[in-house]
Structure 1
Amino acid sequence: MTQLQFTLDLENLKESVINSDIEAVIKSAIVLVLNNVMEKERDDYLNVAAYERSADRRDYRNGYYERELLLNVGKVTLKVPRTRNGEFSTSVFEKYARCDQALVISMLEMVINGVSTRKVTQIVEQLCGESVSKSFVSSLTQKLDPIVNDWAKRPLNTRYFPYLFVDAMYIKVREHHQIVSKAVYIATAITDKNKREVLGLSVDHVEDFESWSRFIQQLKSRGLQSPKLVISDAHKGLQKAIQREFIGTSWQRCYVHFKRNIINKLPKKDSADIRKMIKRVFEAITIEDIRTFKNELMSQYGDIPKYEKALQIFEEGFEDTIQYMNHPEGMRCYLRSTNSLERLNQEVRRRERVIRIFPNTQSAFRLVGAVLMEYQENAYSRKKSL
């Protein structure tokens, strides 16, 4: 074991103790220890102690330079030994870089988990006794770029995804000195082994046929095969993109959105009975019962004018909303709605709400991607199966 000889500045320590500044005491002790560690490392490198003559000497001392080190007790200034040839290097900063890395990772996790930049700077100041700028925290998050980009571009041809869920949400982004609304496209899926997985995301200007087509094409370029069923809301551009990009794929309209659209057209008064019958239709266990209950509903209420708009929506979207019945019974409760994706969107929204306005599109992609990666790791991966 290396034996260290410490030359302590007792006056400095005595003054700190008398003034009851315990942080200063700790800092002073750390500085003394680390300075002596580096001095010992230089002696070992030179093969000779100070003021000692030896034929085995490798180099000569060349004074010191100051370098700051950020620790959990605050920032300290160390005297780093030098040699003439400049080849000596101390291991102190390399070892403590692990602490810096842990701090950086913690700061990134705080940002991903919805802690505002202002609060992150306050937390770091409380932990380290040093303040960091908002721009530093923002630049720090850029370390996530290669991680998120690699995840977003990972191949999807390693397994088959029979069921695909897609949805879009809107965020605020600063662009050309203006605040604009942008659409975030998110796709999740159920694998052939009945496990959920987040497939990818994209940030685009608007939600239309062209942008949905680009998103689906991006997924296909990574190896995504045409699924058996795509579950989404009834966006016309999305329906058209699904029909064009996926051959032989059925479309399932989210029955939660569908029911909501119907009920919104019902009168608030005197509609309890028809609401019960609508609920009865979608609670049926067999496709035969669903069609029977639907026919009974239309027969009983189809000629009543105040229900006309609601029943028109019901009639037009009925077939698209019962596509889940063509798939295994054990899967139907997972396929008839986009509820699982809606919950994921809510988690993204919770983190996004802290930021409110993204400084640019890349920062939005970075944060949403990091949230999706974390969500899958913490939520989906713990579920062995559906």
Structure 2
Amino acid sequence: MTQIQFNLDIDVLKESVMNSNIDAVVKSSIVLVLNEFMEKKRDEHLQASAYERSPERRDYRNGYYERELLISIGKIKLRVPRTREGDFSTSIFERFSRVDQALTLSMLEMVVNGVSTRKVKNIVEQLCGESVSKSFVSSLTEKLDPVVNKWANRPLNVQYFPYLYADAMYIKVREHNKVVPKAVYLMTAMDEEKKRQVIGLKIDHAESFEAWQGFFSDLKARGLQSPKLIVSDAHAGLKKAIDREFIGTSWQRCSVHFKRNIINKLPKKGSSQVIADLRRIYQTISCEEARKFKDDLLMNHQDNPKLKKAIEILEDGFEESIQYLNEPKMYQRHLSSTNSLERLNQEIRRRERVIRIFPNTQSAFRLIGALLMENENLQLNRRYTLKP
């Protein structure tokens, strides 16, 4: 191990102690130590001290240049030694770059967790005594691009997912100096051990059959195999895309959304028994039992003219809302609805409220992708019970 003896200018350090605050003292100490360290490293590289004549000398000194280094208490300016041939380099900046990286990662984490760039800018100024622009903070988030893109395009042929969940939500994005709505497409999957993960993210102009079909095609190109069951809402374009791209796959209409649609058509008063009968249908564990309870509901309430619209909705969508009952009992309550995706959407909404309008589509993809990566294990593996 190299032994280095430092010859520090104590007068400079003393002046800092007498006339400055503690941050200035620490900064001065670091500058003196690092400058001396680099000086000794140059001597080792040259294999000769200053003014020393030596047959082992490899090169000659060529002055210094100044370079700034950002540390936790602010920015310092160092004198970096040079050589004539220019082949001497110091590891100081690489070693201490972890401080800069830690600061960068902290800022990225704040942005991803919903802290506005203006607030991040203020926090950095408080911590480091350095003024940074909002555009600088925004540019730091671009460091997420390679990570998010690698995650979003990872191969899906290494594992089979029998159950998929699909949904879309809208965000606001600035495009050509206008604020326009954009559709965020999400696909999550559950494996046979009931572990879930986000497998697909896409941002498009609007929710449509063509966009859903393209989304599914991209997933298949990454190796996604046709699942047993896909759970989603009843968007017509989504249903058509499922039929077109996943031949032989059953479609489960989200039972929570379906029940809400029915309940919304019921009279405001006197519907408690109808609601109880409706919920009993989805508390069963077999299609036969669910059909029996549905027939009981129709028999008990079909003569009420105020329930006509609600009963029509029930009859039209009933079979598609009980497809989860064809699966093993251990999976059924996880397949009846898109509740887990709804919870994920809520988390995205919470962060979106801070940003309000994404500056462009790429920034939206970047931050939503980073958020999904962060929440994948924490949020999706929880069990949610949202009632209609």
CA distance in 1, matches of 2:244, 2:9: 78
Residues 184-222 of structure 1: CA deviation (Å, up to 9, x unaligned): 000001123432121111101011111111111111111
CA distance in 1, matches of 2:379, 2:147: 19
User: What is residue 266 of structure 1 aligned with on the other side?
Assistant: 266
Q: Kindly tell me the number of residue pairs found equivalent between the two proteins.
A: 383
User: What is residue 163 of structure 2 aligned with on the other side?
Assistant: 163
Structure 2 regions of 5+ residues with no counterpart? 384-388
CA distance in 1, matches of 2:362, 2:177: 16
Q: Map of 1:289-328 to 2, 5 A cutoff?
A: 289-328=289-328
User: What is residue 256 of structure 1 aligned with on the other side?
Assistant: 256
Residues 30-69 of structure 1: CA deviation (Å, up to 9, x unaligned): 1100000011011111111122222222111111111111
User: What is residue 240 of structure 1 aligned with on the other side?
Assistant: 240
CA distance in 2, matches of 1:230, 1:16: 68
User: What is residue 146 of structure 2 aligned with on the other side?
Assistant: 146
Q: Which moved more, 1:366-375 or 1:35-44?
A: 366-375
TM-score, reference length from structure 2: 0.95
User: What is residue 213 of structure 1 aligned with on the other side?
Assistant: 213
Q: Which moved more, 1:104-113 or 1:209-218?
A: 104-113
What root-mean-square deviation, in Å, do the aligned CA atoms of Structure 1 and Structure 2 show?
A: 1.7
CA distance in 2, matches of 1:142, 1:176: 20
| Contact 1:168-1:183 within 8 A present in 2 as well | yes
CA distance in 2, matches of 1:147, 1:285: 42
User: What is residue 278 of structure 2 aligned with on the other side?
Assistant: 278
Q: CA offset at residue 318 of structure 1? A: 0.7
Indicate the SS of the match to 1:234: coil
CA distance in 1, matches of 2:268, 2:238: 31
1:128–1:64: structure 2 CA closer, same or farther, 3 Å change rule?
same
Q: CA offset at residue 382 of structure 1? A: 9.5
| Contact 1:267-1:306 within 8 A present in 2 as well | yes
1:270–1:377: structure 2 CA closer, same or farther, 3 Å change rule?
closer
User: What is residue 40 of structure 2 aligned with on the other side?
Assistant: 40
Q: CA offset at residue 81 of structure 1? A: 0.9
Indicate the SS of the match to 2:64: strand
1:34–1:374: structure 2 CA closer, same or farther, 3 Å change rule?
same
| Contact 1:4-1:36 within 8 A present in 2 as well | no
| Contact 2:286-2:326 within 8 A present in 1 as well | no
TM-score, reference length from structure 1: 0.95
CA distance in 2, matches of 1:303, 1:290: 21
CA distance in 2, matches of 1:382, 1:109: 23
| Contact 2:340-2:380 within 8 A present in 1 as well | no
Q: Map of 1:44-193 to 2, 5 A cutoff?
A: 44-193=44-193
Q: CA offset at residue 305 of structure 1? A: 1.2
Indicate the SS of the match to 1:107: helix
Indicate the SS of the match to 1:375: helix
Residues 355-377 of structure 1: CA deviation (Å, up to 9, x unaligned): 11111111111111111112224
- Could you tell me which amino acid in structure 2 is paired with residue 46 of structure 1? L
Q: CA offset at residue 232 of structure 1? A: 0.3
